[in-house]
Amino acid sequence: MRKTNLVFALVLALLVAFGVVGIAIAAVPTDTSALRNAVTVEGIMAHEQAFQNIADLNGGTRIAPPPPPGSGTSGYDASAAYVVEKLKDAGYKDEEVTVQKFRYPFFQELTPTTFSRTDGTAKAYVDDTGEGTDANPPGYFHIMSYSGSADVVDAPVVPTNDIQILPDSPDNTSTSGCEATDFEPASVTEPQVALIQRGGGSPGCNFQTKARNAQAAGYEAAIIFNEGQEGRTEVIPGTLSGLRPDGTAWIPVLMTSTAVGEELYNAYDPAAPDAWVPRVSISTDTLVQNRDTSNIIVDYPGGRTDRTLIVGAHLDSVPQGPGINDNGSGSAGILEIALQMKKLGINPTNHVRFAFWGAEESGPPQWGSKYYLDQLGAAQRKDIALYLNFDMIGSPNYVRFVYDGDGSEPGAVPGPNGSGTIEKVFRDYFASQNLRTEPTPLDGRSDYQPFFDAGIPAGGLISGDTGIKTPQQAAIYGGTAGEPYDSCNHQACDNIDNLNPKSIEELADGAAHATLTFAQTTSAVKGTDKAPKTNTAASAMEYEGPMAIK
């Protein structure tokens, strides 16, 4: 070695040792063009057609089967078998493909829930989650998952203790329903409905806690209304997080807007003659049971297992349809990446694991990815460098959404340390292709959430679901303003015709680029024990600019 080179190397080593030069110096630019060229729309669409054929043979869905005496086969089982077959045909060894079986609580609303007021101001309420807006007019509700079936007719509504109504309580932190003593014992002569306000006060008080207390007090149903502060007025798609300990369903529990809850609460007047109370009717028809399903876990050979990259997508559909966009598109996309990596014989620096999750659509929680992480020890979880999630990449009225890992958008929650780097890799890639992107929050609605909860950096892409495309988005991405990104989301029409090949091509290329970039980086990628409460734009893995995009 020449003397000048030796001196430079020694100085550089000292700078790195004392933190003057960041660890980005170790990052190796990665040319991802071969993999991106190999991952084609045609290849992905072939998998999508296979998923459509499977749904056609299984009642139009790709969900897990019911327990015995059910048929024992399902659209989900067939989808999983297809994935395994394609991987084995591509050369993956038996020990590299794991079918991880697990049991999860299944919930399905068989017929639409009805909810109406039956006293002197009779009115029917509207079943609509109203996701993403605080502007719901009065009258909106939605059934919480794992609610049972019942017909509650003309029943009195009884408020719990600790309800706080704005603006009289501007610092509302309601603990309504968190304690058994919040409930008056229900009447033994007629059914009654408990009125409860959203709010915890402690990590141990959630929707299930409130339902358990209402049921123990003898109520036939419960209404939980949103608290009323800014950002907490709309209907949300709440969950009771599983079955009761005895394996049965909970009483019917409805989530309503703040307006509905306050209307019922203000109508309650125990001081009036005959203690006047509002009355409601609630009718629910649901299926709640334990079911068996599986994750498909695929280990690409080679690479450092202490820096494992997991690339995931959920494989199941909702009961209402075949789920060819949600999430056949994400599953087909990462399957094609796994197949083409094998065909190209890529030798990764870091270990790559592909995951096809079961039972995502029965969450939250996301049962498949949660089960996977729950089976790992602390050391095994620590070996996961980061998680990439792809939940819909073919929406017909699409936008190139990138998960907001650093929490830079107003009101956004940042992901675990390192998530900002994942976002930057995606956004820099699309910028290098002269393609605009938009951030979307890590709001807990897909399989990144269990990784988020474990402090593992997470990110990914999504092409949009029920949100409405704005005129500004239509000007950038094309498509139709004022229409959903996917008007068939969670419906029977989410079929092979409900896909945008342009979206698939662009987002699959982004997925392939990020997968190979993180597979080949020589920088340390580490999260934190828990998701941070501060902005995480500065990652444990530093990343500087596009990595030799060609």
Mean pLDDT within 16-36 = 59
Domains of the chain by range and CATH?
23-93+301-520 (3.40.630.10), 109-287 (3.50.30.30)
CA distances, 482 to each of 414, 486, 533 (Å) = 29, 12, 34
Name the residue with tokens 């296979």.
Answer: 50
* pLDDT grade for 120, boundaries at 50, 70 and 90: confident
Res. 45 pLDDT band, cuts 50 70 90: very high
Answer whether residue 84 shows pLDDT above 90.
yes
Write out the two tokens for 382.
């620590």
Q: 3-class SS at 515?
A: helix
Cβ(164)–Cβ(198) below 8 Å:
no
CA distance 248 to 331: 32
Nearest to 337 by CA among 350, 321, 353: 353
pLDDT surpassing 60 at residue 539: no
Q: Which single residue is written with the structure tokens 């020890």?
A: 377
pLDDT tens, residue by residue, 191-229: 999 999 998 866 689 999 999 999 999 999 999 999 988
**Is residue 14 pLDDT above 60, yes or no?**
no
**Interval 263-292 mean pLDDT:** 89
Asked if 32 contacts 341 with a C-beta cutoff of 8 angstroms, the reply is no
Q: Is the pLDDT of residue 173 over 60?
A: yes
Q: What is the mean pLDDT of residues 342-364?
A: 96
Q: What digits encode the pLDDT tens for the residues 150-166?
A: 999 999 999 999 898 87
How is residue 301 written in tokens? 């050979």
Burial 490-516 (b: 16+ CB within 10 A, else e): bbeebbbebbbeebbbbbbbbbbbbbb
Task: Give, in order, the Cα–Cα distances in Å from 283 to each of 113, 257, 268, 296, 378.
Answer: 6, 18, 22, 38, 45
Does residue 21 register a pLDDT over 50?
no
Does position 12 have pLDDT exceeding 80, yes or no?
no
Question: How large a percentage of the chain has pLDDT more than 70?
Answer: 85
Cβ(490)–Cβ(539) below 8 Å: no
Q: Identify the band that residue 237 occupies on the pLDDT scale cut at 50, 70 and 90.
A: confident
Give the tens place of pLDDT for each residue, 489-498. 999 999 999 9
Q: Check if the beta carbon of residue 317 is closer than 8 Å to that of residue 361.
A: yes
> What integer pLDDT is reported at residue 137 of this predicted model?
55
CB atoms closer than 10 angstroms to residue 15: 13
Instruction: State the residue for tokens 């059914």.
Output: 191
- Is the pLDDT at 275 greater than 80? The verdict is no
Positions of E strands within 337-379:
350-357
Is pLDDT of 533 > 80?
Answer: no
Strand partners, 390: 461
* Residues with catalytic function: 360
Cis peptide preceding 410, ω within 30 of 0: no
Q: Which pLDDT band holds residue 172 (cuts at 50, 70, 90)?
A: low
Return the pLDDT at 528: 47
In whole angstroms, what is the distance from residue 546 CA to residue 550 CA?
10
DSSP 34-60: HHHHHS-HHHHHHHHHHHHHHHHTTTT
The tokens describing 544, both together, are 């500087």
Asked whether 499 and 48 are in contact (CB, 8 A), the reply is yes
Average pLDDT over residues 87-95: 98
